[in-house]
Amino acid sequence: MPVVLGLALLAFWLYCLFDVITTPDEETRNLPKILWVLVVVLLVGVGGVLWLLLGRPYAPRETQAGPGGSMRADVPRGPDDDPEFLRDLDRRLRGEE
């Protein structure tokens, strides 16, 4: 049981540390990013909780893809999502090259 709790704490700590490091400087709240890194590293479990509650940005980052979404709204995810590609394909299938 202590091993499982230790692994869970390690996973939580690594998640929080990675999240702090990958968050842009201008999006951190209440403290500069370098101080958040130190808080998470030095205070292990408590630092991670403090980061999630007080330091993490409110809004999701624009550079991340949401569930089923793409990085940018104006870029199709695949050829079948691109209207121009589908029109061109339809023209080629009809023999209108």
pTM score, whole prediction: 0.59
Tokens of 94: 């009809």
Over the stretch 21-56, which tens digit does the pLDDT of each residue have? 999 998 999 999 999 999 999 998 899 999 999 998
* Measured CA distances, 21 to 4, 28, 76, 87 (Å): 26, 10, 30, 44
Domains of the chain: which residue ranges?
Answer: 1-58
The per-residue pLDDT for 80 is 73
Rounded Cα distance, 3 and 20, in Å:
26
